[in-house]
Amino acid sequence: MTRFFVPGILTVTISGLAFTLIAIVIARSPYTHGNLRPEGYDRTEIAYVGEEQPFEGPGLADPQLATTGDSAQDGKALFFRYGCAACHGLKGQGGAVGTALDIDDISRSEFGRDVRKGPKGMPSFMEETLSDEDLEKLYAFLESAAQEASEEAAAEITESERILRNGKDGVQRR
């Protein structure tokens, strides 16, 4: 009798626990991990010790309008802000979705037209979203990225040529 009783009790206990866990997972509220913060809430308040001091320092009314004065750097910020890097890669080299932005094969006017029109599933960016000045900055960033890529390729070729000329003795151990 004990031979069948203990395995039976274990089977019922394990089945009951499994059923309870499944019921808890299925029956829980969809708001358990919901974002229940009030609108406009950004962070918790800072606890001040002593007298509250006013902040005095440089600041910007709108960080989205911040510029560096360098068109290529501003274009890089725009490239990431508008999500271009998600499809076209970090430097416009192309990715799984977007094509490579070969800036040597496209003029500024063609680039502007393509950005405004949005070819092959690309979203279009009208003048209300992206100004002509911003387009110039994007183009400047892509030009600088293409120039950096060609310089890196030239340096890589130079390194390869050095190894070919000097053989295995030309390879430096690190």
Q: Yes or no: is domain 66-143 CATH 1.10.760.10?
A: yes
For 105-134, what is each residue's pLDDT tens digit? Answer: 888 889 888 888 888 888 888 888 888 999
Cα separation of the two ends of the chain: 74
pLDDT over 70 (residue 100):
yes
pTM above 0.85, yes or no: no
- Among 82, 103, 99, 114, smallest CA distance to 145 is for 103
Tokens of 70: 């360098």
For residues 133 and 24, give the distance between their C-alpha atoms in angstroms, rounded to a whole number.
56
Average pLDDT of the residues in 71-98: 85
Domain ranges of the chain: 66-143
- Among 78, 84, 77, 116, smallest CA distance to 99 is for 84
Residue with tokens 């003029």: 107
Average pLDDT of the residues in 78-97: 85
